[in-house]
Structure 1
Amino acid sequence: MKLDMLAIGAHPDDIELACSGTIAKEIAKGKKVGVLDLTRGELGTRGTAEIRDTEAKAAGEILNLSVRENLAFRDGFFVNDEKHQIEVIKIIRKYKPEIVLCNAVHDRHVDHGKGSKLVSDSCFLSGLRRIETLVNEEKQEAWRPKHVYHYIQWYDIKPDFIVDISDYMDVKMESILAYRSQFYDPSSTEPEIPISTKMYRESIKYKAYDLGRIAGVQYAEAFTTERYVAVDSVFDLI
């Protein structure tokens, strides 16, 4: 299966929190979109890796993803080295996405910055034909995505562009709240963490609203780029 876009996150729920509105919008337009989670989030304070697996599956169904895979790297301890790059390269070559979305270049969680650099480096290396990868004993063809964009997460990083997700905010919230163990639940007996508060849940929608306000739309998601973004016409800009 060839994907139009592959979103990659260090943890299950990174994608939903940061760019699920953009994903839902492109899928509604007929694009094939998949998600790759680098870890199972096993170090998370609330829930378990098994619960996270179930929640990620449910979130993927809400978004109508074409595929969702998990590389099961060590949460908190994976590194950007050849071993990990090769595994990411295998996925990139398997699905041949035109666009890759990945973690913020700098963020509160140590895995986000690491994941960002790991994916960016792997996208470049995936295009080098002398790097050989085998899947089921078959040699994979080299493939380099046309674009790598970094979604913005916890920190207030200045975006290079934003995407209008006004018609998809409800889907975004539904996919986020599929992670029931992670977010606000007044009946939960789990320890409270920064993302489990009622205020944080409300802030997700407010952040999207504030981005939209600046651009003159209702809700938006933000991204940074690795190179200049070009448009065919200034009339393509809204």
Structure 2
Amino acid sequence: MTYNAKIICTILNKLFMATLTNQIRDKFRNILMFDQNMLILAALLGFLAGFASTFFRWMIDFFGSIFSVNGLSMVGIPSQMYPFLLPFMPMLGGFLIGFICKYFPNAVKENGVHKVMYAVALNDGKVRKRTIASCAITSSITIGSGGSAGREGPTVQIGAAVGSTIGQLLHLSTERMRVLVGCGAAAGIAASFNAPLAGVLFALEIILGDFTIHTFSPIIIASVIGTVTGRALEGN
């Protein structure tokens, strides 16, 4: 009986180890497949978010030129009037933003980094597609006209919206949607400020609050590609 019991225990132990090995192998394979697909999407998203972030900077420069001496000279105003009219440029920009807020309230009310955090935490990573255009237009007018605003928040939101849009178009799972939102935010910051590490840390700590391998690797890839895209378009 003792000998038979040992044989049975040995067989059961081998079966258990084989089952455990198969489970570990399957789990590892799933992780690899997840990372392979996400790394490809992260690289694509890094380019798109990097381009969107750079284009947003071009929009700021454009409106900055309009709400300046160049804009006044384009409409034929004499140079003697510049000192008197330039202080009213922020007011004109504020008037345009007020007009947009009045007639397109649904588009403007969704702007803000807190909306990105809300989308990740409570809305399955879904950011409205129109956020890309609404945030870029209103923010570039505000900053370009001399309003009291910065491009950090809009850059994060534009990049995150690009990532969420790709995820929605591909009908990805909630987990992947959230990762893509973080990738977009990281790539946007990296491209706009030439700071890939800052983009990675901001996305991991503030947007996602997740430092697992599933999120860490894609966000690094997106941030690096975003930086390269920004440098290619605007230089170092």
- When normalised by structure 1's length, the TM-score is 0.23
Which structure has the larger Rg over C-alpha atoms? Answer: 2
| Larger proportion of strand | 1
Larger RCO: 1 or 2 (CA < 8 Å, sep 6+)? 2
| Larger proportion of helix | 2
- When normalised by structure 2's length, the TM-score is 0.23
